[in-house]
Amino acid sequence: MAYLPDGARGLCGGNRGSASLDGRTPALKAATAAGILVRMPESSSKAPTQPHSPLPDFCSLPVISALLVVGALCVTLCWLAPESTRGWRGYSVGMLFVEWLAIVIGVALCKLHPWLRRLPGLLPYAGVWLVMLLIVTAGSMAAEWMDQMLGMQLILSGPHVFVRDNALIAALLGAAMLRYFFVLAEWQARLAAVAHARVEALQARIRPHFLFNSMNTVAALVRVDPVAAERTVENLSELFRAALGQHDTHTGTLGDELQLVDRYLAIEELRLGERLRVRRELENLPLDASLPLLLLQPLVENAVRHGIQPRREGGEIVLLGSCENDMMQIQIDNPLADEPSSGGSGHGLNNVRQRVAYHFGPRASMEAGPHEGRFVVKLRLPVEMRHARADRR
């Protein structure tokens, strides 16, 4: 039974459907499997990626908050200056004026962001700096005119001195803030590159491990049951096409991952026979949810290798899934072996834990350990639909 996405019905809803393999003959599929790794360069064409914008998102709450905080600090420092003659009234009016300017600047930059980001090189920063300077200058001129017309006498400096001072302060503070945003963007880009390289390494360590185990299964079946060996090669052909065909993005859907799990278990069922029993309760999971490739399959492989294979009588692997609001929980458990199997280093669990943290962030969690005679792995992941997820990093 293969699981295919059938449209997301809300965040925690999805249908499970069965799908047959394509119309190729078994012989053609077996021949295809032998050459799948040779044709990988043809299938590795990279989709065009959206160029990274050097500017921060001025529509986001953190950036708007930064503008408000910097404006408030500026007014407070001017009020606390030794030669300042402003009382609480001047401080309140000045705070109101500066915060109003900060909001206007934030809204203007939010609206102009799509046009500013198209400028080449560092010109987007120059454009932002110029917009900030123009808004502060125009706002200061309007405030000075209103003060003169209404006779409020809040501005005691000479003609145009108020406008000049505010323009200089805006120029200096704007340049400092833009320098901070530039350094922050460079740091985030380097962090994303390092994290991406780390995932590349993790993926590269997973694939040979799974490939060698699967080919050993085929080798063991060739002389004993040629028909089963051919069927296993067919499953490998489809499995490796799915697993290695999207290595540029490293992400697929939960339905894709359940397909890989099913094909792997079909291979292991041929090798272990009645010793391997699988119970699935995954009906409530959203099959369109975004998931890193080869995330669940290594956990199922560990369950077979350490929980079923060492036991003479075998055992049952249980796959459970539930979804509530925007969080889904996936549980994989297997019986504990009488004696620990050799070769277990915890690499598979650590690998999955690191990839979960990188892909989903702090909202996701993973727990693994023995519980009532079984080894239980629990994944708690936020539901992120594939079509709505452009890139988090």
Q: What is the pLDDT of residues 300-332, one digit of tens each?
A: 988 998 899 888 899 999 999 999 888 999 999
Instruction: Report the mean per-residue pLDDT for the chain.
Output: 76
Average pLDDT over residues 62-81: 85
> First and final CA of the chain: distance in angstroms?
35
Residue 11 pLDDT > 50: yes
Q: Is 292 helix (H, G, I), strand (E, B) or coil?
A: strand
Task: State residue 161's pLDDT score.
Answer: 84
Task: State residue 232's pLDDT score.
Answer: 80
Task: State residue 116's pLDDT score.
Answer: 87
Residue 3 pLDDT > 50: no
- Give the Cα separation of 301 and 216 in Å (integer): 14
Task: State residue 40's pLDDT score.
Answer: 35
Average pLDDT over residues 367-375: 92
Average pLDDT over residues 252-273: 85
- Give the Cα separation of 393 and 390 in Å (integer): 9
Residue 321, beta-bridge partner list: 330
Weakest-pLDDT range from 4-8, 147-151, 311-315, 352-356: 4-8
Is residue 244 a contact partner of residue 40, using CB atoms and an 8 Å limit? Answer: yes
Confidence of residue 6 (pLDDT cuts 50, 70, 90): very low
The tokens for 68 are 């408000």
Task: State residue 20's pLDDT score.
Answer: 37
Residue 53 CA to its chain's centroid (Å): 18
Q: Pick the most confident of 158-162, 192-196, 262-266.
A: 262-266
Weakest-pLDDT range from 5-14, 82-91, 148-157, 207-216: 5-14
Weakest-pLDDT range from 145-154, 208-217, 294-303: 208-217
Task: State residue 208's pLDDT score.
Answer: 65
Residue 101 pLDDT > 80: yes
Residue 365, amino acid: S
Q: Which H or E run includes 369? A: strand 365-371
Task: State residue 88's pLDDT score.
Answer: 78
Note the residue count of the chain. 393
Q: Is the entire prediction scored with pTM above 0.75?
A: no
Q: Pick the most confident of 35-39, 168-172, 233-237.
A: 168-172
Percent of the chain's residues with pLDDT above 70: 72
Beta strand 251-253 with 276-281 is: unpaired
Task: State residue 239's pLDDT score.
Answer: 67
Residue 139 pLDDT > 70: yes
